[in-house]
Structure 1
């Protein structure tokens, strides 16, 4: 059953026996994880969480329904969180939906799924399996997301400041939260009136600079700067950042570009990039000149597939990510400016 955001939030906030499984999918993996935390909160701090992965359930499909029907070792609440890679958990979820009883809520975080996905089709056909797709927020929605997260920490954030923070985090909700927590600590926020976050605060603590290390890599790749891309990969590897985080950063940038490309096709390049942080405007415009809408859609599919491969057990993450990104960089270099 396809659910709206309001519907999926109600389902997560108030678990019901009528719901066997909740499917959270879409390219914004951080958004899906954030939604799953609503279920964690609803179940209570003392609830037992069982974590399962797609590879395990692909080998033992009955395990999911067994865990859903089992009682907690400690006699309290219990719920199951599944990290899936595409359709590998379809048989396990089918068994769960067909089981005579379940009892424990199950949430599946599946990443980006194509319309032909067997798991997605299963969810859409079942009233006991609401499904919601998360996409990286854009424009005003992104600003409101940052402002809302900041308000919970005692911060008041204007739209232009929210956009700086969002762009610096490359749209990753988890990174946005980390930045906001750093700002809240700096301003000693939390009690009393909300603390105003302005450009001086961001400059003072180095937040909202408009470009993260992984963002610099994505820009080098998409503008065809192969040599700088190699150097960025080396530096990121030395700092321990490789594999899936880099692919996800690239996917976030591509989704941003796809939205801007659609705006540019409707209006103009200048109009579409008007809201882009000024330090990023030139490189974003260069990327949009290189890639048209169909090509960006192809890259989104390609990076989504690469992410799925990386999540498979035993995949050589760093090597796979580097090879994929450098292949795109070489293709971008052949496109000119």
Structure 2
């Protein structure tokens, strides 16, 4: 911070640092830095957020609807927003023509996607099972949910593989790395295969492509779920060719 010019900005994430810590005071006192405190929302905060976003889209949530929205989206603000936009379109609601958002609307078009469904699609991508991926994507589309949750879960899986692959490239054995990362014993065989198939360059490229797809879906006037589907099918095909 004493330098007049630097090559890149730096972001330090320190969840356990207190406001009285020296590094926080240093950032506050410096004209070249800032300290910003973020707090994870409580369940009530998330429900209020869902209610507010619904109101901005011309929806009046019935009792319990905001909680269902939070539960089915994992409290993710971006996903909540997309679900509410979908519900507003379904109910033909807008700020100038408000409509009641009840549980029947959620049952009709709301997200009802479990971890198992997302995991099957992600496994198909990682393992290059293109035919299976088509069927799993159809299940996800039928659920009517935003692709954002499973795209983010896919990124987390790719990052975990990248971390393990880096340790292997530094000389550690596959078994030792999987044990260190506490890979579930039923997933050891598939994880070992993935670590052999995915190169560091492929993992870095895949992470970038999935994140690009997520940003594209969150942009206004986007093409919808086809953006995510095209990205993951391309990744699955690339791995299938390596097999």
Instruction: Report the TM-score, using the length of structure 2 for normalisation.
Output: 0.55
Q: Deviations over 1:77-113 (max 9, x none)?
A: xxxxxxxxxxxxxxxxxxxxxxxxxxxxxxxxxxxxx
Distance verdict in 2 for CA 1:302–1:46, change over 3 Å:
closer
Residue matched to 1:294: 201
Residue matched to 2:141: 237
8 Å CA contact 1:243–1:320 kept in 2: the answer is: no
8 Å CA contact 1:247–1:303 kept in 2: the answer is: yes
Distance verdict in 2 for CA 1:46–1:305, change over 3 Å:
closer
Match runs of 1:326-337 below 5 Å: 326-336=233-243
Match runs of 1:162-311 below 5 Å: 212-266=116-170, 267-274=172-179, 275-311=182-218
Distance verdict in 2 for CA 1:174–1:257, change over 3 Å:
farther
**Corresponding residue pairs, total:** 160
Distance verdict in 2 for CA 1:261–1:46, change over 3 Å:
closer
8 Å CA contact 2:210–2:228 kept in 1: the answer is: no
8 Å CA contact 1:243–1:319 kept in 2: the answer is: no
8 Å CA contact 1:246–1:321 kept in 2: the answer is: no
Unaligned runs of 5+ in 2: 1-9, 21-27, 54-72, 77-114
Q: Are 1:37 and 2:41 matched, yes or no?
A: yes
Distance between the aligned counterparts of 1:20 and 1:245, measured in 2? 31
8 Å CA contact 1:242–1:321 kept in 2: the answer is: no
Q: Deviations over 1:258-291 (max 9, x none)?
A: 1111122230112111220012111111111111
Distance between the aligned counterparts of 2:117 and 2:146, measured in 1? 11
Distance between the aligned counterparts of 2:37 and 2:233, measured in 1? 33
Alpha-carbon distance, 1:248 to partner: 1.1
Distance between the aligned counterparts of 1:265 and 1:308, measured in 2? 31
Q: Are 1:321 and 2:225 matched, yes or no?
A: no
Q: Deviations over 1:200-238 (max 9, x none)?
A: xxxxxxxxxxx7321221111121110000011111222
Unaligned runs of 5+ in 1: 12-17, 25-34, 52-171, 176-210
User: SS state of the match for residue 222, structure 2?
Assistant: coil
Distance between the aligned counterparts of 2:117 and 2:189, measured in 1? 18
Instruction: Report the TM-score, using the length of structure 1 for normalisation.
Output: 0.41
Distance between the aligned counterparts of 1:243 and 1:326, measured in 2? 14
Structure richer in helix, relative to its length: 2
Alpha-carbon distance, 1:311 to partner: 1.1
Alpha-carbon distance, 1:253 to partner: 1.0
Distance between the aligned counterparts of 1:276 and 1:313, measured in 2? 38
8 Å CA contact 1:223–1:287 kept in 2: the answer is: yes
Distance verdict in 2 for CA 1:217–1:316, change over 3 Å:
same
Alpha-carbon distance, 1:329 to partner: 0.9
